[in-house]
Structure 1
Amino acid sequence: MSESAPAEGGASQELRVVVVDDQALVREGFAALLGAQNDVRVVGTAADGAEAVALCRRLAAAGEAPEVVLMDIRMPVRSGIEATAEIVASPELARTRVLVLTTFDLDEHVHAALRVGASGFLLKHATAADLVGAVRTVARGEALLDPALTRRLISHYVATHREAADARELPARLAQLTPKEVEVLSLVARGLSNREVAEQVYVTEQTVKSHVSRIFTKLDLRDRAQAVVFAYECGLVRPAGS
């Protein structure tokens, strides 16, 4: 595990990132690529989930909590899913977003990571530009990096785990929403931006933001990624072909 010293002067303008992967070449490669960006500072790296959680908490205590953690899923000691859940549940890391890395876009482990609070996922064979763009996107709070790809993953998982999904008491949680909030949630789950939702329901973008905020609060959701998972699992949005 490595950790950088806090940068002086202008560091507040930089995006702090932690890179987590059990393969040293991958970890160091991603760290070097991101560290070469003018607006990114890699504040540490870790080789497994346990190291990642400890590192993020130590950075938070020093006032250097990362905005984004680039997290591999399958690692020894503690998986990326377990580490993501711990990071998301840590009050001192409330502003930290997790971007999970995977080899396969239909990996059910990615679905599990999204359910526990990851803000999106990225394929390991993505281009350098895609990697940098994804980190910046997640840092801005835009949870879904590629709505079509994410919907395909969730559609596949729900379609192949239908009994488990139907057994959950998600419809009762959905009943907490107003009809307008349900409509907004269904559009968000289809990958529409706030501006696009506003055009669909004939309200202002600020009104949509207010609806989305209330939806997150009522359903205890962290961001749009979890909202999409919820919408599919409760049946509000159906997998393609179902």
Structure 2
Amino acid sequence: MTSADDTVPAGPGVLWTATPTGRRGPKPRHSLEGIAEAAIAIADAEGLEVVTMQRVAESLGTTKMALYRYLPGRADLDAVMLDSALGTPPPPRGERWDDALVAWTGALFARALERPWSVELAQRPHTPGPQELAWYETGLAATDGLPLTAGERLDLLALLSGHALSLVRQEAGARAAEEELAAGLAAVLAAHSDRFPRTAAAFADAGRAEQRDDAFRFGVRRVLAGIAALVAEREA
């Protein structure tokens, strides 16, 4: 998600200009939803860097040139992948505005954590699709009535989503590094735990995930504490 001052590519993008499926004429062989599912399956299994128009076309049993009938370029493929990965936001939760924003940010964090590669797509310049705008709508609803300008409300969502997505990126990288390190050290530590008890205990400690969750909650609460102070100042 972007702040109010971020620039995005010109044009609405394929998510907003696709021809309705109910038009007359032969039924299209593929849909944007089906193309997104194929691309997401590749990204989940092999990583975002493996996703190309050629690979997606092959997985759908068609040609790269045929795929361009649905997606004019790679940026459009990124757009449908991101919008599908974000999905529909959960309904607003919490009676207080700060509780509602904690729940909103937590839901975004959990959704991105399911597919960490979506963070890279979200941080590329792009025109938000329908699902992403639905996240904006839900987040902005939580700020209704606060003495904030429209730009400040958008920047608040950018701060919260930026914190969530940065932790997802960190966790994804840390997880891969830790798994590689643990695999190499497991046998050594098992055989020599008496010589390195603290090291063996540290790698066996399951509290690392909880510590990352604490970092998430701490950051969100500090951002909202600053906003609460600003709201109190303006209301006074």
The two structures share one fold, judged by TM-score above 0.5? no
Q: Which has the higher contact order (CA 8 A, sep 6+)?
A: 2
In proportion to residue count, which structure has more helix? 2
How does the TM-score come out when normalised to structure 1? 0.25
In proportion to residue count, which structure has more strand? 1
